[in-house]
Amino acid sequence: MAMKEVKPEEFNESVFRVIGKEWLLVTGEAEGKSNAMTVSWGGMGIMWGKPVAFIFIRPSRYTKEFIDKAEGLTLSVFTEDRREMMSYFGTVSGRDEDKIAKASLTVQHDNGRTYFDEARVTMLCRKLYAQEMQQACFIDKACDEKWYNDDYHTMYVVEIEKILVQD
Ligand SMILES: Cc1cc2nc3c(=O)[nH]c(=O)nc-3n(C[C@H](O)[C@H](O)[C@H](O)COP(=O)(O)O)c2cc1C
């Protein structure tokens, strides 16, 4: 299927639904290899005058090793019939299996970033900022208690350089 570019200000989907309900596939590429994982926390908006996404990755994720080595990453959204695949990417680690090959995704590359023909939306992103979350910064301590066991996410702010949507 053909993809067309959409400007960020013309991307008129609910980010609450896209991120929280449909989920994002975050893909990193480094040293000729790629790995991807599912995320359902994050945001999109404007920072430093640029269209950005915010994603949060725990230290244990294999994908984090790829993201930390690379200059960019991609965010992909798939249609509902790929829900099982998204669960797979969110429960199995790329340390144990080549998830991208097992999911039979058609890989494309753009400037050191991996993305997929099958995604209904693709965001090609460039890293701007990364910061580890800290226990001392929690204002609502209940969030810390509920969600962490000394495995604080790293927050990545990435510039959304291009949005591609299926025609
Ligand atoms: C619906 C869903 C949402 C998830 N959201 C996140 C997230 O926002 N951040 C994160 O670090 N892990 C998240 N995960 C967990 C990772 O996707 C999971 O640990 C994955 O197996 C990591 O793969 P990797 O080791 O190949 O990187 C989520 C999992 C699921 C199923």
69-79 residue pLDDT tens: 999 999 999 99
Q: Are 112 and 72 in contact (CB under 8 A)?
A: yes
Counting ligand 1 atoms within 8 A of each CB, the residue from 21, 33, 61, 85 with the most, and so the one to mutate, is 61
Per-residue pLDDT, 1: 66
Distance 6 CA to ligand 1 centre (A): 27
* Per-residue pLDDT tens over the stretch 119-137: 999 999 999 999 999 999 9
Task: Classify burial at 78, counting beta carbons within 10 Å of its beta carbon; exposed 0-12, middle 13-18, buried 19 or more.
Answer: buried
Counting ligand 1 atoms within 8 A of each CB, the residue from 38, 66, 69 with the most, and so the one to mutate, is 38
CA distance 17 to 23: 8
* Per-residue pLDDT tens over the stretch 149-164: 999 999 999 999 999 9
User: What does the chain come to in residues?
Assistant: 167
CA distance 97 to 106: 17
* CA 57 to ligand 1: nearest atom: 11
Phi, psi angle pair for 71, to nearest 5°: -85, -20
Ligand 1 contact, 90 CB (< 6 A): yes
Distance 17 CA to ligand 1 centre (A): 17
Which position has the token pair 């990435």?
A: 158
CA distance 40 to 90: 10
- Whether residue 115 is predicted with pLDDT greater than 70 in this model: the reply is yes
* Per-residue pLDDT tens over the stretch 49-102: 999 999 999 999 999 999 999 999 999 999 999 999 999 999 999 999 999 999
Task: Classify burial at 164, counting beta carbons within 10 Å of its beta carbon; exposed 0-12, middle 13-18, buried 19 or more.
Answer: buried
CA distance 164 to 167: 9
Per-residue pLDDT, 119: 98
> Domains of the chain, with CATH numbers?
3-166 (2.30.110.10)
* Whether the predicted model's global pTM rises above the 0.95 cut: yes
